[in-house]
Amino acid sequence: MQEIQPASCPSAGVGFAQTLAQHGLRLEREQTHTLQINTGLLCNQACRHCHLEAGPSRKEIMNRETMDQVADYAARGGFQTADVTGGAPEMVPGIDHLLTRLAAAVPRVMLRSNLTAITDSDREHLGLLCRDLKIVLVCSLPATHASQTDAQRGSGVMDCSVSALQWLNSLGYGQPGTGLELNLVSNPAGAFMPPDQGRTEERFRRDLQRKWGIVFNSLYTFANVPLGRFRTWLEASGNYEQYMARLTEAFNPEAVTGLMCRNLVSVDWNGELHDCDFHLAKGIPLGGIRHHVTKMDCPPIPGATIATAEHCYACTAGAGFT
């Protein structure tokens, strides 16, 4: 697979594939146990870091036929986890159907929520459905302070997110002994690297409990990927070169072994497969070759090629993107 080079990336210097080779590393699949399902780009938010440029005006969403095809693949592929993402999956018509089918097909279903779509008045039933199906919720919350959260995700999002988390806690999510997992994801609110995950989790736990009585299970910190709206902002703000240099300097060979693309395959709203959601955003197909979910008998086999590109540096910087 030939690496896709961005048109203007002077500071990226050495290409990602070359960097791997310099460290004697090969990026290839291990056992693929997770099926990530991108239900589309429709979203009630237009976050400034969104690599997919999702938003309220986007029309790309998964239809019911594709949902069934994806759920069938999840079952016949023997996947352990289905990871449902978007956009805001909550806004996609038929999402209840997809979640219900997936819950019957795989042991663990995750739903990525931006915490505002799930609590819209006509979608509260989704939270109850998730609770009944014991779906793991993975929710975006960049910071425990409104200035950074609202800067990244839109004005008023912090207040709305706090209300949503309190409501999910009241359903049992994040509470000990319920088996209802509530995990948070924090991306930096700008062109800088994420803080240490363990310490940030401690701070979030302390701050959210102290300020609003909110509890959760785990927090994950991830670097922003220089694609889509975030890349546009990086370029417009004059941060692109410096950010790419920061990512490439922070390349951590040890992070390569834990990369999600070794164990995950990502399917888009049309049923096409990709190595990850970032390749999906760039239109790079699975291993560089187009595959539709209906033509797949099983997950990609161990040893299969994984496509690489410049944005892969975001997943290998520091502790990595697992």
Site residues (CB under 8 A) for other proteins? 143-145, 147-148, 188, 190, 192-196, 199-200, 203
Cβ–Cβ < 8 Å for 149, 142 = yes
Q: Which amino acid is at 131?
A: R
CB 145, min distance to other proteins, A: 4
The angle formed by the CA atoms of residues 307, 188 and 311, to the nearest 5 degrees, is 15
Paired sense of beta strands 264-267 and 108-113, if any: unpaired
Nearer to other proteins, 234 or 284 (CB): 234
CA 249 to chain centre: 23
Nearer to other proteins, 136 or 184 (CB): 184
Q: Is 84 helix (H, G, I), strand (E, B) or coil?
A: strand
Nearer to other proteins, 193 or 256 (CB): 193
CB 186, min distance to other proteins, A: 9
The span from the CA of 20 to the CA of 205, in Å, is 36
Nearer to other proteins, 147 or 178 (CB): 147
Nearer to other proteins, 11 or 100 (CB): 11
CB 280, min distance to other proteins, A: 28
Strands (E) located in 24-107: 34-38, 81-85
Q: Is 217 helix (H, G, I), strand (E, B) or coil?
A: coil
CB 203, min distance to other proteins, A: 6
CB 229, min distance to other proteins, A: 20
Please give the DSSP secondary-structure letter assigned to residue 228: H
The span from the CA of 304 to the CA of 307, in Å, is 10
Nearer to other proteins, 147 or 209 (CB): 147
DSSP 276-288: SHHHHHHT--GGG
CB 200, min distance to other proteins, A: 5
